Structure 1
């Protein structure tokens, strides 16, 4: 893919401090990724669980259309199979669903990819890593918790996220969808079909999700 990966763009700034993409373009890219993951889950004879959805694995063509890559950690299962057995943790820290670390959060399934997608979208919106030890304020180290507080605070939201005056509705939609995707219980997360519907639908139709509470206190891992 000639434009390389999404990671090259969402964390970068030009000489004037501007981001490469405005929020409407990020919404288009996020919707394209959601369609791709939905196809893996619902469009194939066997369901494909990727287990490593992250910016580095989203490649872009000249029109900045996203393509999901790197299926080295993927697993196949039947479309009616709700539980996946795993012998070791798979994925990249910061994107791994909590049930992959611990069965106390639920069972591993296609909803684990939904979680990774939500974390990816939050990084796209915030232009920073979800778990960033370089952030000076300790309450901003875990971005999902921090951005949720800005979202419900209303008056702080525009200042908290780097956006133009006409982009607030798009940003709110992306954040709300992402926060639904990263709910700690897999049963509370939407399917990727529902995620696509939320991304292309109206902001007014979206309910505010519960506050995420799974944070960077999760244990270190060894990638499979």
Structure 2
């Protein structure tokens, strides 16, 4: 017997005009999705899909319990799903102070059209970082040349301003190329020990703040996209 699941979709880390961004699937956990999270994420094919399992009220504050899946594996933490889910919850009238993910508590704040989340480098997957000489070299990379691992290639656009051009390839996560990668931005900000403005992929934009206590804030803009109805056998 077939069942259908309606999946909300948002685009995370868009530019100021709402262009580009990384697609994210959002599912409110139910009996239909329970135990099939990895299957659903693989069928959707987004770089990540999140499952919101519970909203917990703490007086004036609210937390969301969330799990994150790539098409190939579950992640303890990821930046673009955390930013996108926080924005989506706020848009549906349930803003949160924090997300509870397997890695720990991800603090959330809203500032105008930006949504910010706080993560730590040790929560993020390991990446091989490759600093190139120019943004043009980053743009010339071919995802077909990367067959395994998790690789983040970057170059300065303006080092004094902290402006970076980057791309990320992660066959190990089932992702040929990720349009915008918050977890890698957390690691790069930790590595460079400074705030960054990152242009990744085809035109996505990420902002980071180095907080000095081992924590990194990642912020960006999100917009709604068309939902997807998924048919499950």
**Does TM, normalized by the shorter one, top 0.5?**
no
TM-score, normalised to structure 2, is: 0.30
- Give the structure with the higher percent strand: 2
TM-score, normalised to structure 1, is: 0.31
